[in-house]
Structure 1
Amino acid sequence: MNLDFRQAVPEDSEWLFDTYRRTMKGFVTSAYGWDDDSQKAGFAKSVRQGSCQIVTCKGNRCGFVHWDVEPDLVWLRMLCIVPELQNKSIGSAAIAKVMSLSSYLQKPLYLNVFVCNRAAYDWYSRIGFVEIENDGKVSTLVLAPSSSPAPMETHV
């Protein structure tokens, strides 16, 4: 699959939130409950920080990856793949991009994942992330130092 990445622009806002809602609503609801207005406001505020890139295939948007580079680390804020396009290596390509950035900057890569999202939690574990904190709803993971942004065998 030939994927491209481009910076998200304001015209992508509605699509970004719709993709977030379609991929994350069940997990957010399970952990905290879902209020569309507060989720939309929080999502808009979050996406204004850091870098948000749209993943495209043949010109069609198929997901997005959002990260922040902080003074001492890289924080993966969100990785959402359109549900119909999951398990096609799109998530692997997106995470490899952020893993490469983290490696290049020589900064550790962190992320949060909902504990109830076992597929994502297990996938991150398989590609080298280890849990450093868990509050019962959200687990904080860090990429183990020996992990490299090599091609992934598993797909999200």
Structure 2
Amino acid sequence: MDIILSQFKPHEHLPAFSEFKRYMKPIVDSAIGWDEDFQRSSFESRLQPEWFRWILSNGEKVGYVCSRIKSSSLHIHLLIIFEHQHRKGFASSVIKAIKSEANSQRLDLTLSCFKNNLPAANLYKQLKFEISSEDEHFYNFISVVEHS
């Protein structure tokens, strides 16, 4: 499956919150409760616009990903696939593309996932991520850099 990851334009960051809310509110609400002000403030202040990329397939936006390089890893903060594109392999393709980026920079790939987000957690396990730690609500996953 061919996908392209295309940098957000500066004005696209804040409107992306509505898609975040659409897909994540049920999961967050079920796990810890949804606080609109906290979620919006956290999205706007903690996730930098330059970390966001559109996921494009045949020129169509099928979702977006927010990731950044940390000290020893490339970390995925958020992966949203639009509902009409679910179960078509886009999430796997994005993860594999970002895993390739991480490997080329000799970085581990990390991400966190709500435990109650079973489709996402199962996908990460299927893609050979290991649980590096967990707490009451989250799994922290890692895919260790491949050494050649």
Q: What is the Cα deviation at residue 50 of structure 1? A: 5.8
Aligned-pair Cα RMSD in Å: 2.0
> Which residue matches 1:111?
111
Instruction: Kindly indicate whether residue 33 of structure 2 is the aligned counterpart of residue 33 of structure 1.
Output: yes
The sequence identity of aligned pairs, in percent, is 22
Q: What is the Cα deviation at residue 27 of structure 1? A: 1.0
Contact 1:22 1:83 (C-alpha < 8 Å) held by counterparts = no
Contact 1:19 1:81 (C-alpha < 8 Å) held by counterparts = no
Contact 2:20 2:80 (C-alpha < 8 Å) held by counterparts = yes
Q: Look up the SS of the partner of 1:26 in the other structure.
A: helix
| Residue deviations 1:86-116 (CA, integer Å, cap 9, x gap) | 1112112211121011111111111100000
> Which residue matches 1:79?
79
Q: What is the Cα deviation at residue 58 of structure 1? A: 3.7
**Count of matched residue positions in the alignment of Structure 1 and Structure 2:** 147
Gaps of 5+ in 1: 148-156
CA–CA distance in structure 2, aligned partners of residues 35 and 84 of structure 1: 27
CA–CA distance in structure 1, aligned partners of residues 14 and 60 of structure 2: 15
> Which residue matches 2:7?
7
Give me the TM-score of the superposition, normalised by structure 1.
0.84
Q: Which amino acid aligns with 2:86?
A: Q
CA–CA distance in structure 2, aligned partners of residues 48 and 14 of structure 1: 10
Q: Look up the SS of the partner of 2:136 in the other structure.
A: coil
Distance 1:9-1:69 versus aligned 2 partners, 3 A rule: same
| Residue deviations 1:34-53 (CA, integer Å, cap 9, x gap) | 12222111111232166211
CA–CA distance in structure 1, aligned partners of residues 71 and 131 of structure 2: 21
Q: What is the Cα deviation at residue 80 of structure 1? A: 0.8
Gaps of 5+ in 2: none
Q: What is the Cα deviation at residue 30 of structure 1? A: 1.4
Q: What is the Cα deviation at residue 4 of structure 1? A: 2.4
> Which residue matches 1:154?
none
